Amino acid sequence: MKPPKPSEIVKFYGNPDTNGDGQPDPKWEAANLIYIVPPYRMQWSWGGECKRIRVHKKCADSLLRCLTKIGQEFDVKARTYYQLDRCGGGYTFRPIRGVSDRLSMHAYGAAIDLAPELNPLGHKWYPNGYRMMPEEVVKIFADEGWYFGGLFRRPDCQHMEYVDRTT
C-alpha cells in the first residue's frame, strides 16, 4: 500500500481547514475526531501518562486493534525496551515537517507516532537492531492498512498513517 494523494485524503477524511486560514475547523474536529484508550499503559513522549489518543473516527478501531496486538505480542519489558509505550501524538493540526503547503496526516487524525526518541525523523530504519521500530510492529500496522513512515524518502520510523480508505 502506498501513501494516499492529497485529493484522496480530503475526499476520505474531509477537510480539517475548510476555510483555508491555517487553523483547524472546530466543526470538522467535532464531527470526525474521537478518543481511544490505549489497551496498555502508555506515556506521552514529552512526559505524563497517555490516557487517551485523539484520532479520526475512520481509523480509531484499526488503531486500537494495532495497539491491542502490540500489547499481546510484546510483554511490558519488550514494550519498554522498544519504547512502544511512548506516544508522540495522534491528532495534531500541522503541516508536514519541512513542507509548509501540505497538511500532515496528523492534521487529519490519521497518524500516530510511537517511540519517537528511538526513531527520529530522517534516520534510516534498521529493523533488526539499534532498538528501532520492530518489524513485527510494522507488520501489525500494515496488516490493518497503515503505511510505515520508515519507507518515506525522508524516513520517519516513528510514524504510522492510515491509508486503507475502505472503512
Contact 66, 146 (CB under 8 A): yes
Out of 3.40.630, 3.30.70, 1.20.120, 3.30.1380, the CATH code matching 6-162 is 3.30.1380
pLDDT of residue 166: 59
User: How much of the chain, in percent, has pLDDT values that exceed 70?
Assistant: 96
CA distance 31 to 11: 15
* 120-146: pLDDT as tens digits: 999 999 887 778 999 999 999 999 999
Q: How many residues does the chain have?
A: 167
- Residue recorded with cell 480509531: 60
Tell me the residue type at 7: S
36: cell is: 481511544
DSSP string of 125-157, one letter each residue? P-TTSTT---HHHHHHHHHTTEEEGGGSSS--T
Q: How confident is the model at residue 157 (pLDDT cuts 50, 70, 90)?
A: very high
Query: Is 71 or 101 the better-scoring residue by pLDDT?
Result: 71
Q: Is the pLDDT of residue 167 over 60?
A: no
CA dihedral in degrees (6, 11, 17, 18; nearest 10)? 130
- Residue recorded with cell 481511544: 36
Any idea where the domains of the chain sit in the sequence?
Answer: 6-162
